[in-house]
Structure 1
Amino acid sequence: MKRSLTLLAIVVAVAAGAGYWYIHGKQPQREGELAIAGLSAPVSVRYDTRGVPHIQAQNEADLYRALGYVHAQDRLFQMEMVRRLARGELAEVLGSNLVHTDTLFRSLRIREQAARMVERLDPQSPPGQALHAYLAGVNAWQASHPKPLEFDVLGIPSRPFTAEDTLSVAGYLAYSFAAAFRTEPALTYIRDQLGPEYLKVFDLDWQPNGALRPALADADWRSLERIARLSNEALGAAAIPQFEGSNAWAVSGSHTRSGRPLLAGDPHIGFAVPAVWYEAELSAPGFNLYGYFQALNPFALLGHNRDFGWSLTMFQNDDVDLIAEKVNPDNPDQVMVGGQWHALEKTEQQIAVKGEDPVAITLRRSPHGPIVNEVLGGTAGTTPIAMWWAFLETENPILEAFYQLNRADSLGKMRDAAAKIQAPGLNLVWANARGDIGWWAAAQLPVRPAGVNPTFILDGSSHEADKAGFYPFSANPQQENPASGYIVSANYQPPASMPIPGYYNLPDRGRQLDRQLANPEVKWDVQNSQALQLDTTTDYGPRTLAPLLATLREVAEGDEQKELVEQLAAWRGDYPVTSTSATLFTQFLDELAFAALHDELGDTWFPVLISTRAIDAALPRLAADPESPWWNLRGAPERSDRTTVVRLAWQRTLEHLRETFGKDPAAWQWGKAHTLTHNHPLGQQKPLNHLFNVGPFAAPGSHEVPNNLSANLGPAPWAVNYGPSTRRLIDFADAGQALTINPVGQSGVLFDKHYSDQAQDYIEGRYHKAQMGVIPAQSTLRLVPAEQ
Structure 2
Amino acid sequence: MKRSLTFLAVAITAAAAGSAWYIDKQLPVRDGNLPLAGLQAPVEVRYDERGVPHIQAQNEADMYRALGFVHAQDRLFQMEMLRRLARGELAEVLGPKLVETDRLFRTLSIREHADRYAKTLDRNSPAVKALQAYLDGINQYQDQRPAPVEFDLLGIEKRPFTLEDTVSVAGYMAYSFAAAFRTEPAITYVRDHLGADYLKVFDLDWHPDGVIPPLAAGDWKDLTRIARLSQEALVEAGLPQFEGSNAWAVAGSHTASGKPLLAGDPHIRFAVPAVWYEAQLSYPGFELYGHHQALNPYASLGHNSQFAWSLTMFQNDDLDLIAEKVNPDNPNQVSINGQWVELQSREETIQVKGGEPVKLTLRRSPHGPIINDALGNSAGKTPVAMWWAFLQTENPILEAFYQLNRADSLDKARSAVAKIHSPGLNVIYANASGDIGWWAAAKLPQRPAGVNPYFILDGANGEADKPAFLPFSANPQEENPARGYIVSANYQPLSPTGVPIPGYYNLPDRGIRLNQLLAEPGAKWDTQNSQALQLDTTTGYGQRLLAPLLGDLRAAAADDGEHALVEQLAAWHGDYPLQSTAATLFNQLTYELARAAMHDELGDAFFDNLLQTRILDDALPRLAATPASAWWDDRSSEAVESRADIVKQAWQASLAHLRQTFGNDSSQWLWSKGHTLTHEHPLGAQKPLNLLFNVGPFAAPGGHEVPNNLSHRVGPAPWSVVYGPSTRRLIDLADASKALGINPVGQSGVPFDTHYADQAEPYIRGEYQPMHFAEGDVQAHTRSTLHLQPAD
Kept after mapping to 2: 8 A contact 1:255/1:520: no
The structural deviation recorded for 1:241 is 1.3
**Which aligned pairs between 1:420-459 and structure 2 lie closer than 5 A?**
420-459=419-458
Q: Deviations over 1:582-616 (max 9, x none)?
A: 00000000011000000001111000011000100
The structural deviation recorded for 1:10 is 2.4
Kept after mapping to 2: 8 A contact 1:371/1:384: yes
**Which aligned pairs between 1:307-386 and structure 2 lie closer than 5 A?**
307-386=306-385
The structural deviation recorded for 1:20 is 0.8
Within 2, Cα distance between the matches of 1:8 and 1:699? Answer: 44
User: Which residue number corresponds to residue 780 of structure 1?
Assistant: 785
1:159 aligns with 2:153: no
Residue aligned with 1:55, SS:
strand
Q: Deviations over 1:46-79 (max 9, x none)?
A: 0000000000000000000000000001000000
**Which aligned pairs between 1:25-44 and structure 2 lie closer than 5 A?**
25-44=25-44
Residue aligned with 1:701, SS:
coil
1:80 aligns with 2:80: yes
**Which aligned pairs between 1:623-702 and structure 2 lie closer than 5 A?**
623-702=624-703
**Which aligned pairs between 1:557-596 and structure 2 lie closer than 5 A?**
557-596=558-597
User: Which residue number corresponds to residue 123 of structure 2?
Assistant: 123
User: Which residue number corresponds to residue 202 of structure 1?
Assistant: 202
**Which aligned pairs between 1:249-328 and structure 2 lie closer than 5 A?**
249-328=248-327
Amino acid at match of 2:202: F
Amino acid at match of 1:748: G
1:236 aligns with 2:235: yes
The structural deviation recorded for 1:8 is 2.9
Within 2, Cα distance between the matches of 1:524 and 1:685? Answer: 46
Within 2, Cα distance between the matches of 1:13 and 1:617? Answer: 60
Q: Deviations over 1:744-779 (max 9, x none)?
A: 000000000100000000001000001113212010
Q: Percent identity?
A: 69
The structural deviation recorded for 1:209 is 1.8
C-alpha root-mean-square deviation of aligned residues, in Å?
A: 0.8
Which contiguous aligned blocks of 4+ residues in structure 1 show a shift greater than 6 angstroms?
none
Q: Deviations over 1:708-766 (max 9, x none)?
A: 01111110000001000000000111100100000000000000010000000000100
Residue aligned with 1:264, SS:
strand
User: Which residue number corresponds to residue 764 of structure 1?
Assistant: 765
Amino acid at match of 2:789: V
User: Which residue number corresponds to residue 401 of structure 1?
Assistant: 400
User: Which residue number corresponds to residue 489 of structure 1?
Assistant: 488
**Which aligned pairs between 1:4-23 and structure 2 lie closer than 5 A?**
4-23=4-23
Structure 1: tracts of 5 or more residues without a match: none
The structural deviation recorded for 1:379 is 2.5
The structural deviation recorded for 1:117 is 2.2
Residue aligned with 1:427, SS:
strand
Within 2, Cα distance between the matches of 1:566 and 1:619? Answer: 21
The structural deviation recorded for 1:506 is 1.1
Greater displacement, 1-10 / 328-337: 1-10
Within 2, Cα distance between the matches of 1:13 and 1:167? Answer: 47
Residue aligned with 2:528, SS:
helix
User: Which residue number corresponds to residue 389 of structure 1?
Assistant: 388
Q: Deviations over 1:356-378 (max 9, x none)?
A: 11011110000000001111123
The structural deviation recorded for 1:243 is 0.4
**Which aligned pairs between 1:41-56 and structure 2 lie closer than 5 A?**
41-56=41-56
Residue aligned with 1:184, SS:
helix
The structural deviation recorded for 1:528 is 1.2
Within 2, Cα distance between the matches of 1:11 and 1:559? Answer: 65
Kept after mapping to 2: 8 A contact 1:312/1:426: yes
User: Which residue number corresponds to residue 148 of structure 2?
Assistant: 148
The structural deviation recorded for 1:524 is 0.7
Greater displacement, 725-734 / 517-526: 517-526
User: Which residue number corresponds to residue 139 of structure 2?
Assistant: 139
Residue aligned with 1:381, SS:
coil
Q: Deviations over 1:14-52 (max 9, x none)?
A: 221111101101000100000111111000000000000
Structure 2: tracts of 5 or more residues without a match: none
Residue aligned with 1:186, SS:
helix
User: Which residue number corresponds to residue 734 of structure 1?
Assistant: 735
Within 2, Cα distance between the matches of 1:179 and 1:693? Answer: 27
Q: Deviations over 1:135-190 (max 9, x none)?
A: 00000000001100000001111000000000000000110011111111110001
Within 2, Cα distance between the matches of 1:495 and 1:520? Answer: 25
Residue aligned with 2:356, SS:
strand
Within 1, Cα distance between the matches of 2:661 and 2:521? Answer: 46
The structural deviation recorded for 1:637 is 2.9
**Which aligned pairs between 1:606-621 and structure 2 lie closer than 5 A?**
606-621=607-622
Residue aligned with 2:634, SS:
coil
Amino acid at match of 2:268: I
Amino acid at match of 1:69: F
TM-score, normalised with respect to structure 2: 0.99
Kept after mapping to 2: 8 A contact 1:219/1:379: no
Within 1, Cα distance between the matches of 2:165 and 2:761? Answer: 34
**Which aligned pairs between 1:177-188 and structure 2 lie closer than 5 A?**
177-188=177-188
Kept after mapping to 2: 8 A contact 1:246/1:724: yes
User: Which residue number corresponds to residue 245 of structure 2?
Assistant: 246
Within 2, Cα distance between the matches of 1:293 and 1:91? Answer: 27
Residue aligned with 1:79, SS:
helix
Within 1, Cα distance between the matches of 2:359 and 2:469? Answer: 37
User: Which residue number corresponds to residue 463 of structure 2?
Assistant: 464
Within 1, Cα distance between the matches of 2:764 and 2:643? Answer: 39
**Which aligned pairs between 1:707-726 and structure 2 lie closer than 5 A?**
707-726=708-727
The structural deviation recorded for 1:633 is 0.4
User: Which residue number corresponds to residue 106 of structure 2?
Assistant: 106
1:546 aligns with 2:551: no
The structural deviation recorded for 1:316 is 0.6
Residue aligned with 1:463, SS:
coil
Amino acid at match of 2:744: P
